[in-house]
A and B are shown apart, each in its own frame.
Chain A
Amino acid sequence: GAVVSQHPSWVICKSGTSVKIECRSLDFQATTMFWYRQFPKQSLMLMATSNEGSKATYEQGVEKDKFLINHASLTLSTLTVTSAHPEDSSFYICSARPGGSTNEQYFGPGTRLTVT
Chain B
Amino acid sequence: QQQVKQSPQSLIVQKGGISIINCAYENTAFDYFPWYQQFPGKGPALLIAIRPDVSEKKEGRFTISFNKSAKQFSLHIMDSQPGDSATYFCAARRRNAGNMLTFGGGTRLMVKP
Interface residue ranges, A against B (CB under 8 Å): 4, 6, 32, 34, 41-46, 49, 91, 93, 95, 97, 103-110, 112
Given A43-B89, A44-B89, A110-B41, are A104 and B103 also a contact pair (CB < 8 Å)?
A: no
In chain B between 42 and 58, which residues have their CB closer than 8 angstroms to a CB of chain A?
Answer: 42-46, 49
Seen from chain B, the residues whose Cβ lies within 8 Å of a Cβ on chain A are 32, 34, 36, 41-46, 49, 89, 93, 98-106, 108
29 contacts between A and B (CB under 8 A): A4-B43, A32-B99, A34-B100, A34-B101, A42-B106, A43-B89, A43-B103, A44-B44, A44-B89, A44-B103, A45-B103, A46-B101, A49-B98, A49-B100, A91-B41, A93-B44, A95-B43, A103-B34, A103-B99, A104-B34, A104-B49, A105-B101, A106-B46, A107-B36, A107-B43, A107-B44, A108-B43, A109-B43, A110-B42
Q: Is the interface of B mostly helix, strand, loop or mixed?
A: strand
Distance between Cα atoms of A112 and B41 in the complex (Å): 8
Which residue in B99, B102, B108 is a CB contact (below 8 Å) of A105? B99
Question: With A32-B98, A43-B105, A105-B101 given, can you name 11 additional A-B contacts, CB distance below 8 Å?
Answer: A6-B43, A41-B108, A44-B89, A46-B101, A49-B98, A49-B100, A95-B43, A103-B34, A103-B99, A104-B49, A106-B46
For A57, give the chain B residue with the smallest CB separation. B98
Give the distance in Å from the alpha carbon of A44 to the alpha carbon of B88 in the complex. Answer: 11
In the assembled complex, the Cα of A6 lies from the Cα of B89 at a distance in Å of: 21
Of B42, B98, B99, the contact of A109 (CB 8 Å cutoff): B42
What residue in chain A is nearest B10 (Cβ atoms)? A41
